[in-house]
Structure 1
Amino acid sequence: MRTIAVFGHRGARGLAPENTIGGFAVARACGVTGVEFDVGLTADNFAVVHHDPRLNAAIARDAAGHYVGADAPLLRGLGFAQLAGYDVGRLRAGSEYAARYPDQVPCDGAAIPSLTAVLAALRELDLLIEVKTAPDRPADTATPAAMATAVIDVLRAADAIEHAVLFAFDWRVLREASAIEPTLRRCCLTEPDTVAQGGLWLDGADLGAFDGKIIQAVAATGAACWAPFHATLEEADVREAQSLGLLVLPWTVNAPEALDRMIGFGVDGIISDWPDRARLAVEHAGCRVAAPGFIAGVGRLIPEIGAPGGVEQKLP
């Protein structure tokens, strides 16, 4: 029976507040392989789990219960203790975000957690960790090197390297992580905008050298996985990526027809805001949801001796 990994996006964003301890518990209850979440750095260099460089105006409330505005502070402008004063457990009524996730059950009092706390809450589950840097807005986040170092330090302390994959749209993060911890598996995130602005996002990769093929450029980084936006993915792309040794993990696959399409294409895993839906779709297709430990079965990465341009090889 074919096995497909199911990952809850930002925990289980369609069901519970994103990137929160409670949301991760909901994802676990859905029977997922693992979860995807985002990491940023505070002013005092705590790695915290939050999607946006700034506090999100549709999510974050201050101690007085007021939602932050467009001038919300940057994560890197607040210490961890200051950040703990914000509540991210309820969507702002009337916001576009709330309209997209009408079934999300609020959890008042939920705080932005540290990466350390999240790893403790997710023991035994597989971890897809997106490092959030913004090469088009470099002042908004810490540097790729600082971000990669902070995340890897926490992963090492939790003995979680084996269960994790480091994700990034900004491929500089992946290069920095490779130098710090070569055995940490890496995944190239792509979407049309970042590919179109490859000079900013793809760490200097020249798509012309790969006949314009993003998949070839991904493989050349030594990444273990490729995570494209699902709507841009075609079956031939899946076959090509897999022939190059890449796992294909499309995001964010939510609608029933999109889930069926990705499963039919033969992807290795699915990242969804509704992991319960994704699990049912996988099982309805006659497949089995991969158990936690799926990531540990993906080949480790080590530098290939003498490889030109730092290209790496995957080892079983």
Structure 2
Amino acid sequence: MGFYAAPLSQSWKFCLPFQPFQPPPSTCRAIAAREASPRKTRCLDSRALRIGVSTLELDVGVTRDGIVVVHHDLRLNPDIARGPDGRWLRAPTPAIHELSFHDLRRYDVGRIRPGSDYSRRFPRQRPMDGVRIPALDSLFDLSRHAGHPGLRFNIETKISPLAPADTLPPEAFARALIGAVRAAGMQERVTVQSFDWRTLATVQHEAPEIGTAYLSAQRDSLDNIGAGQAAGSPWTAGVQYSDHGSVPRMVKAAGGRVWSPYFGDLRRDLLAEAKSLGLKIVAWTVNDRADMERLIEWNVDGIITDYPNLLRDVLGERGLPLPPTASRGVSGLDSAGSPGRRHGAVN
């Protein structure tokens, strides 16, 4: 996943305007393009801030010593991770929660393995050496120095009920993230999203000041809804499709206010139902111009895309306001990916 655009008070911009504490519509900030820089690591370099977007979407895991880190996968990815000797890792690789933060910093994630599936998916990604997996609080610190005091963060908990040994339990995972967000004073600038709704239930119960967004997918590659499964879905915290008959009603029953479906699953009748239930709708991941235009016409509340410049073009052609660029650039996380002053700990 990548970038967001959403209307607030009749304006479209790269943000998540789902909480009453959202900044006014004229203020927008910047994030990075996944196809250009190492994924979810040096996201806030000067190029990213010049794009002119306001919400950074990122995935997180939790290390053995309770540090919340920015990383897309449950385990180190052998297509992007190299060891201290410079060699590519081989599967099976360590799970993030099996490593201390110190151990995690030994791996370089700045390049894609030549000939891998990742290299074909992101042929324009710029290779770098010395890129480490950063602590979440380092990213928070970096944003404070970027001339974007209101930069928002949409943080996905990377956890799966199908691989319980690969992460902390959902409650402990969510509590570690809550601790990191509170320690940084970022409660009003963070939304936690997940396919695993168990983590969202913990956030809503223990940190109601932090917003949540309910991810859904009903695809062959990922189906966290389980509409046709007799036993129901292990992803949805006990809220089952068979009891409610639609995903919007499931989200509402779970206490959610934001539904974030895969854009290919979204239909106009489902969108209308979600809106009638008072839900906001953010569709992911929309990288085609025609799909962007269609969803804007449908009046969704947000679009997630890997190509913010394309979405800016679509918005600009429609005469919709665009977010400004950064007031000053930053060079990105240091090559060591050092943590900041604060860390969330596992409770």
Q: Which TM-score bucket, shorter chain as reference?
A: 0.7 to 0.9
Moved more, 267-276 or 131-140: 267-276
Change (3 A) 1:80 1:25: farther
Q: Tell me the residue number matched to 2:202.
A: 176
Q: Give the aligned partner of residue 309 of structure 1.
A: none
Q: Are 1:250 and 2:283 an aligned pair?
A: yes
Counterpart of 2:302 (choices 263, 269, 278) is 269
Match of 1:62 among 76, 83, 90: 83
CA deviation string 1:281-311 (max 9, x = no partner): 222233234689xxxxxxxxxxxxxxxxxxx
1:45 aligns with 2:66: yes
Identify which range, 140-149 or 60-69, moves more after superposition.
60-69
Output the CA distance in 2 between the equivalents of 1:25 and 1:158: 23
**Deviation larger for 282-291 or 253-262:** 282-291
Any conservation in 2 of the 1:234–1:265 contact (CA below 8 Å)?
no
> Which residue among 190, 195, 199 is the counterpart of 2:225?
195
Shift of 1:253: 1.1
Q: CA deviation at 1:6?
A: 2.5
Deviation at 1:279, TM superposition (A): 1.9
1:196-218 Cα offsets, whole Å, 9 max, x none, are 264211111122222x2011111
Q: Give the CA deviation at 1:108.
A: 1.8
Distance (whole Å) between structure 1 residues aligned to residue 272 and residue 46 of structure 2: 34
How many angstroms does 1:11 deviate by? Answer: 4.2
Task: For residue 137 of structure 1, report the CA deviation from its aligned partner.
Answer: 0.9
Q: Secondary structure, in 3 states, of the residue corresponding to 1:173?
A: helix
Residue 205 (structure 1) aligned to one of 239, 252, 270? 239
Indicate the residue corresponding to 1:312 in structure 2.
none
One-letter code aligned to 2:171: A
- C-alpha distance in 2 between matches for 1:10 and 1:205: 34
Quote the offset at 1:26 in angstroms.
4.0
State the 1:269 CA deviation: 1.6
Paired amino acid for 1:207:
Y
Could you tell me how far 1:25 is from its partner in structure 2?
Answer: 4.9
Q: How many residues align?
A: 291
Deviation, 1:132, is 1.2
What is the identity, as a one-letter code, of the residue corresponding to 1:168? Answer: S
- The match for 1:147 is 173
Q: Return 27-36 or 15-24, whichever deviates more.
A: 15-24
Alignment-derived partner of residue 84 in structure 1 = 105
Which range is displaced more, 259-268 or 133-142? 259-268
Taking every aligned residue pair, what percent have the same amino acid on both sides? 37
Write the distance in 1 (CA, Å) between the matches of 2:217 and 2:248. 12
Q: Which has the higher contact order (CA 8 A, sep 6+)?
A: 2
Q: Specify the alignment match of 2:34 in structure 1.
A: 13
Q: Which residue of 2 is the match for residue 241 of structure 1?
A: 274
Structure 1 vs Structure 2 CA RMSD? 2.2
Distance of aligned partners of 1:291 and 1:239 in 2 relative to their CA distance in 1, 3 Å threshold: farther
Residue identity matched to 1:264: E
Larger helix percent: 1
Specify the code of the residue in structure 1 equivalent to 2:290.
Answer: E
**SS of the residue 2:233 aligns to:** helix
Closer, same or farther: CA 289–222 of 1 in aligned 2, 3 Å? farther
Q: Secondary structure at the match of 1:64?
A: coil
Compute the displacement of 1:69 (Å): 1.5
CA gap 1:273/1:9 in 2 versus in 1, 3 angstroms: farther
Q: Aligned with 1:187: secondary structure?
A: strand
TM-score after normalising by structure 2: 0.78
CA distance in 1, matches of 2:128, 2:304: 23
Name structure 2 gaps, 5 residues minimum. 1-8, 16-28, 145-149, 326-347
How far the C-alpha of 1:22 sits from its partner, in A, is 4.0
The TM-score normalised by the length of structure 1 is 0.86
